Amino acid sequence: MEKYRITGGIPLSGAVDISGAKNAVVAILPAVLLSDEPCRIENIPHISDVTTTLKILEKLGAKVAYVDPHTVEIDPRTVTSNEVDHELACKMRASYYFIGALLGKTGSARVPMPGGCWFGERPIDLHIKGFHALGAESIPQEDNVIEMHANQLMGNSVYLDTVSVGATVNIMLAAARARGMTIIENAAKEPHIVDLANFLIRMGADVRGAGTDVIKIRGVQQLSGAVYSIIPDQIEAGTYMAMAAATGGDVLVRNVIPKHLESITTKLDEMGARIEEMDDAVRVRCEGRLRGCNIKTMPHPGFPTDMQPQIAVLLSIAEGEGTITEGVWDNRFRYTEELIRMGAKIEVNGKRAVFQGVDHLTATNVKAMDLRAGAAMVIAGLVAQGVTEIEDIRYIERGYEDIIEKLRRLGAQVERVTDEA
Ligand code: UD1
């Protein structure tokens, strides 16, 4: 069993380079299926969700080749199958993007229900509603598999009852080559939605309004090959910013789009960290103790739910009271049990958590309960007194490239160890 072992108490200092965005790349790689020619995708992060997505593409028949460690060329012309591998689909949430991409490419898709992090029910009814609006039919299956078919996808208006990243992406994928105009209302506005739209446009798609709550897609008959570079990861950047603030460090977080970080910057500033924005970097410094504050997670441009566990560590050690209200998921506070075992004082009541800041956390052995909860455990380990061991690090490695090396370069005492037991 692989673990992270972290000796806490060292302020981080130096510079860290942020990798390509996980939630953008897991949408853009399936989107390559829609092209009639090979595509080259740059700034690909080395994370296990990318490995899984590329394996799914290969199993569908696409040719996948790394040109360099962060650039991959994909030729979708050799795709012969419309059926996503069961084991691979269950490893990650974003495997559901193959429904939209395969429907758009071949008019049919057979995709197992996706896996991924658990924070309460994660329905995909809005995705299905969107596909139905575009003329696809569901073919009933007994084995937890989604099978859909369309003779010809037709553009239509789709109103999303809830702002959903996944449904917005999936409908964009299905609509790119549908006949006529699709209008997605109450669309998600996350940076990765805009990144996907820009990639589709680069291939020749007609997509307008991404980044607002109304996206219009006029279907085209063909899409050509494209070279495209993935945007930097907003959440990875936010995580290193939180690490800098939590450890009382001084870190230059490079290769970021500061605009994407505004909601995080605002809260760190309110808590007493000093943030300096540059063109493509932010410097985070913190002297003295952080202050508690109130945070509510919301769809973009609100404070991202995927930064909720990381900021919770800061509230755990900040002076005074702080609160987090979770505005997206029903059950995203399970990791607080681990922080409480490290000495945090947290009371969770449904979708609200109240933090009474403590002087320090004490190292112990903890589990990464999911990807971002795992990142929170790393932050907790960096600030705790003593040596923290984190189990189930496979969750963390779904979304953080080279986290051990990046932290070491910032001066952290952290290692990946194999527990023979
Ligand atoms: C994506 C992100 C995830 C992030 C989440 C919210 C990816 C691969 N994952 O997940 O990291 O936490 O956005 O920012 O990009 N909902 C429905 N029906 C649906 C779909 C969603 O009711 O068909 C609800 C969900 O239960 C949730 C809310 O809508 O309460 C938002 O979910 P959604 O934005 O779809 O999350 P994901 O796309 O799964």
Residues 117 and 191 in one domain: yes
Residue 272 lies in a domain: no
Looking at the structure, do residues 140 and 223 belong to the same domain, yes or no?
Answer: yes
Whether 207 and 334 share a structural domain: no
Q: What does the alpha-carbon distance between residue 15 and residue 408 come to, in Å, rounded to a whole number?
A: 11
pLDDT of residue 144: 83
Task: Say which residues have a Cβ less than 8 Å from residue 360's Cβ, sequence separation at least 6.
Answer: 317, 343, 383, 384, 385
The pTM for the full model equals: 0.97
Residue with tokens 């023979």: 420
Given this model, what pLDDT does residue 357 score? 98
Ligand 1 binding site (Cβ under 6 Å of any ligand atom) = 23, 26, 93-94, 121-127, 162, 164-167, 188, 305-306, 328-329
Q: Is the peptide bond before 301 cis (omega within 30 degrees of 0)?
A: yes
Considering Cα of 154, then 29, then 119, then 306, what sign does the dihedral take? negative
Q: pLDDT value at position 37?
A: 98
Pocket test for ligand 1, best of 23, 99, 118, 162 (most atoms within 8 A of CB): 162
Question: Which of 229, 264, 299 is where one domain is finished?
Answer: 229
* 164 CA to centre of ligand 1 in angstroms: 5
Instruction: List the chain pLDDT tens, one digit each, 421 residues.
Output: 899 999 999 999 999 999 999 999 999 999 999 999 999 999 999 999 999 999 999 999 999 999 999 999 999 999 999 999 999 999 888 999 999 999 999 999 999 987 766 777 788 999 999 999 999 999 988 778 999 999 999 999 999 999 999 999 999 999 999 999 999 999 999 999 999 999 999 999 999 999 999 999 999 999 999 999 999 999 999 999 999 999 999 999 999 999 999 999 999 999 999 999 999 999 999 999 999 999 999 999 999 999 999 999 999 999 999 999 999 999 999 999 999 999 999 999 999 999 999 999 999 999 999 999 999 999 999 999 999 999 999 999 999 999 999 999 999 999 999 977 5
Residue 397, in any domain of the structure: yes
Cα separation, 207 vs 290, whole angstroms: 43
* Residue from 165, 213, 264, 296 whose mutation best tests the ligand 1 pocket (most atoms within 8 A of CB): 165
Closest CA to 266 of 215, 240, 302, 212: 302
For residue 117, indicate whether it is catalytic. yes
Q: Based on the domain organization, do 9 and 78 belong to the same domain?
A: no
- Please indicate, yes or no, whether residues 219 and 313 belong to a single structural domain of this protein: no
CA-based angle 149:151:157, to the nearest 5? 80
CATH code, domain carrying 150: 3.65.10.10
Query: For atom 5 of ligand 1, which residue has the closest CA?
Result: 165
Query: Which candidate in 39, 90, 117, 286 is catalytic?
Result: 117
Query: Is the residue at 98 inside a domain?
Result: yes
pLDDT at 19: 98
Of 203, 229, 255, the position where a domain reaches its end is 229
Ligand 1 probe mutation, 118, 164, 305, 335, most atoms within 8 A of CB: 164
Q: What's the CA-to-centroid distance between 208 and ligand 1, angstroms?
A: 22
In a domain, 334, yes or no: yes
Give which of 307, 316, 310 is closest to 377, Cα–Cα.
Answer: 310
In a domain, 408, yes or no: yes
86 and 15 within one domain = no
The residue segments making up the domain with residue 302 are 2-19+289-418
Residue 281's H or E segment, with its range, is: strand 281-285
Q: Are residues 50 and 173 in the same domain?
A: yes
User: Which pLDDT score, from 0 to 100, does residue 421 have?
Assistant: 59
Q: Domain for residue 32, yes or no?
A: yes
